[in-house]
Amino acid sequence: MVHAHGQHHGHGHEDHGHVHGARNIRFAFCFNLAFTLIEVAGGFWAQSTAVLSDALHDLGDSLVLGAAWYLSSLAVRGRDGKYSYGYGRYSMLGGWLTALVLAIGSLVLMVFTLTRMNDAHEPHAVGMILLALFGLAMNGLAAWKLQGGTSLNEQGAFLHLMEDVLGWAAVLVGAVIIHFTGLGIVDPLLSMAINGYVLFNAVKTLRKGTGILMQRLPEGFDEAAITKALRSLPHVVGTHDQHAWSLDGDYIVLTVHLLVDTLDPTERSQVTNAARTLLHNMGVHHATIELELPQDECALADH
Q: Percentage of residues in the chain with pLDDT exceeding 70? A: 78
pTM of the model: 0.65
| CA-closest candidate to residue 102, choices 50, 62, 147, 49 | 62
Q: Which residues of 219-252 are buried (b: 16+ CB within 10 A; e: fewer)?
A: eebeeeebeebbeebebbeebebeebbbbbbbbb
| CA-closest candidate to residue 272, choices 255, 258, 252, 251 | 258
Per the document, the length of the chain is 303
- Can you tell me the distance from the alpha carbon of 60 to that of 204, in angstroms, rounded to the nearest whole number? 19
- Is residue 219 scored above 50 in pLDDT? yes
Band (271; pLDDT cuts 50, 70, 90): very high
- Can you tell me the distance from the alpha carbon of 190 to that of 170, in angstroms, rounded to the nearest whole number? 7
- Is residue 8 scored above 70 in pLDDT? no
pLDDT in tens, 91-142: 677 778 778 888 888 888 888 888 777 766 667 788 888 888 888 888 787 7
Burial of 161 (0-12, 13-18, 19+ CB in 10 A): buried
Band (299; pLDDT cuts 50, 70, 90): low
Q: How far apart are the first and last CA of the chain?
A: 21
Q: Once rounded to an integer, what is the mean pLDDT over residues 244-272?
A: 91
Q: Which residues of 50-63 are buried (b: 16+ CB within 10 A; e: fewer)?
A: bbbbbbbbbbbbbb
